[in-house]
Chains A and B, each alone.
Chain A
Amino acid sequence: MSATHHPSDVLIAAYAAGTLPEAQALIVATHGALCPLCRARTRAFEAIGGEVLDGAAPLALSAGAAERALGRLRSAAPDIVPPPAPVSDLPRPLADYVPGGYEALRWRRHGARIATAPVATSRDDGLSAFILRVHPGSSVPRHGHRGVELTLVLAGSYMDELGRFARGDLEEIDGNVEHHPVAGPDGDCICLVVTEGKLRLRGVLARLVQRLTGI
C-alpha cells in the first residue's frame, strides 16, 4: 500500500539540500521509508546538489593534501559498516529516535482518548516533535497553528477537511489553516507530529483542554 499524501516540493527540496531543522527532516525521512515515490523525488532534488558541486569554484587544498588523505586511510580504522537496524516496529529513522518503541515513551494523557509523548531531537530549535495517539473514532479539537504542522500517520487513520490519511500519509498544514481531525475506526490512530510553535485550539472546551494539557 502506497502513501497518497506527500510532502510538498519545497519541503522535499529543503530536505535534499540539508537545510530542514532536524525534527522536520525526521518526519520527511520517516515518510520516505514508507514512500518509494518520495525517495525518488528526494534523489531528483539531490541531483541539484550534484550540479551545484560540479559548478562549485575549486579552492586549492594545502600542499600534499591528497597524500595526507591516503596516509590517513592507510592507517585508519576499518571501513564503515552500517550499524544493524534496531529491532523495532517503527521504520527508521524514527526507530533511532524512539529506540524502546512506543511503550518506552513518556506518555501524557489529555483526557481518556488522546495521549502524546515527546520525541527528543539533538537540540531545541523551536520545533516540537511528538507521537500522538488517538482512540478510534475520537477527534482532536479543531485547531490552527502558528507555523507549519506536519503529521505522519504510523498506524490507523484519520479524516479532516482535507481528506483521509492512513499509514505513510503526510499532511502539511500551513499556519493560517484550521483543521479538525477525527480518528478512523481502524484501531488507535498513531501519528508523528512536528509543529512550529504551539497549537491554537478553538472553542471553549478546546481552550480549556489546551490550558490543562499545554499541547
Chain B
Amino acid sequence: MPDRADRRDADPDPVALLRRVADQRDEAAFARLFEDFAPRLKGLFRRGGTDNATAEELAQEAMLTVWRKASLYDPVKASPSTWIFCIARNLRIDATRRERRPEWDPEDPLLVPDHPEPADDRLAASQQTARLRAAIGALSPEQARVIELSFFEGKAHGEIASALGLPLGTVKSRVRLAVGHLRTTLGERS
C-alpha cells in the first residue's frame, strides 16, 4: 500500500481527489482537498463579514459537506471550485440569513429533463473557465467590485449600495453591465 505522501503527489487533480473521496472514502484525498480549499473558504467567509471563529467553523462545515456529498459531484456540470463555492454559498445563506436555499431537485419526476449535451460541450469546460477568468479580468474596476461584493461577500444590491455609498440605481446598472459582459462570455457556449 503506497504511503500518503506518494499518493498526494501522484494525484493532485481535485476532480480525481473528489472521486477518491466519493468512491473509496479516501482520507488522504480529503486531507489534500482540505489543504487546498479550507483556507480559501475561510478567506471567503471572513470577507463576507463573519468573525474569525465563525469563518473557521463554516470552512470546516463546508469541507465536511464536501466529504458527505462527494458522490453527488458531477464533473460535467461544474468544476470542483464551482461545486465547492455552491456548498459554501448555501452554508452562508443558512448561517447569516437564517433562510432556506430553494433549489430544484434533479430526482424530481416533474423536473423537465436536460437536453442531451453535445459531446464537444463537455470538452469545452476548461476553455470555458479560461474565458471566464479573462472576462472577469477585463471588467472595469467598478464592475469588478460589484461582482466581487455579490459573489465574494454575498451582498444584495441594497447592501452593496450602502457599502459603496452609491444610489441603488447606480449599483443596479453596474451589476447589469458587469453581468452583460460576463454573459457574452458565458453565452458563447450555446
User: Which residues of chain A have a CB within 8 Å of any CB of chain B?
Assistant: 1-2, 9-10, 13-14, 17-22, 25-26, 29-30, 32-36, 39-41, 43-54, 56-62, 65-66, 68-70, 72-73, 76, 79-80, 82, 85, 88-93, 95-97, 121-123, 168
Contacts and interface: CB of A to CB of B under 8 A. Distances in A.
Given A66-B38, A121-B99, A17 B64 contact: no
Contacts of B63: 69
A21 B156 contact: yes
A-B interface, 6 closest residue pairs, ranked by CB to CB distance from nearest: A50-B82, A58-B39, A49-B85, A50-B81, A18-B89, A93-B102
11 contacts: A14-B157, A17-B151, A29-B103, A34-B110, A43-B77, A44-B187, A45-B182, A46-B86, A47-B132, A70-B30, A73-B64
Given A10-B176, A10-B179, A52-B148, A58 B43 contact: yes
Interface string B61-87: 001110111011000011111111110
Interface in B29-44: 30-31, 34-35, 37-44
A10 B35 CA distance: 34
B178 to A, nearest CB: 9
Contacts of B78: 43, 46-47, 50
B47 A56 contact: yes
Contacts, number: 226
Residue from the set A48, A58, A70, A72 with the largest chain B CB neighbour count within 10 Å: A48
B24 interface: no
Contact of B90 (A18, A50, A72, A76): A18
Interface residues of B, number: 85
B102 A48 contact: no
Contacts of A18: 89-90, 92-93, 101, 154
A10 B69 CA distance: 29
Contacts of A92: 103-105, 108, 110-111
Given A29-B104, A53-B41, A22 B99 contact: yes
Given A72-B60, A88-B110, 9 more contacts: A19-B154, A25-B101, A56-B47, A65-B34, A69-B34, A73-B68, A93-B103, A93-B105, A122-B98
